Amino acid sequence: MNIDSIRNGIVIDHIQAKKGMEIYKALELGKLDCSVAIITNAKSKKMGRKDIIKIDKSIDLDMDILGYIDPNITINIIEDDKRVAKYHVELPKEIVNIIKCKNPRCITSVENELQHIFVLTDKDKKSYRCKYCETLKED
């Protein structure tokens, strides 16, 4: 795989420096059967330093996970060496089964089949509260 270009696949760009590995793990990219390249600390005019992930295959990405980890990233879809689409992610209004509520009295710690749902309550502070008990997500 050429590090500089991919013929068909996805480039996740403008990742906050050092967050590439977190995204790699969260999206379980290690389970793919294609090449995946993580470039860390790439120079960026806009950001100073950034991480980039290149996936040598078209796959469905979980935009909620991406937006939750880093709402500033951009996704480029590459076909035949050309960028055919570019997406911006945003903070998801609701995140399901990505984090768990820490409150021991929360119904989700008793009812195992319940989904873990957190709702965005403050976009600027990136704060999420448990949908059931309103406990604030801890960082």
Site residues, Zn ion (CB under 5 A): 101, 103, 106, 130, 132-133, 135
Minimum distance from residue 102 beta carbon to Zn ion (Å)? 8
Minimum distance from residue 13 beta carbon to Zn ion (Å)? 35
Classify residue 136 by its DSSP letter: B
Q: State the alpha helices, DSSP H only, in the chain.
A: 20-26, 63-69, 107-110
Q: Which is nearer to Zn ion, 3 or 133 (CB)?
A: 133
Beta bridge partners of 11: 54, 76
Minimum distance from residue 109 beta carbon to Zn ion (Å)? 8
Q: Which is nearer to Zn ion, 30 or 104 (CB)?
A: 104
Phi and psi based region of residue 47 (left: phi greater than 0; alpha: psi -120 to 50; beta: remaining): alpha
Minimum distance from residue 90 beta carbon to Zn ion (Å)? 24
* Nearest residue to 71 (alpha-carbon basis) of 15, 137, 9, 128: 15
Q: Which is nearer to Zn ion, 36 or 101 (CB)?
A: 101
SS3 67: helix
Q: Which is nearer to Zn ion, 72 or 103 (CB)?
A: 103
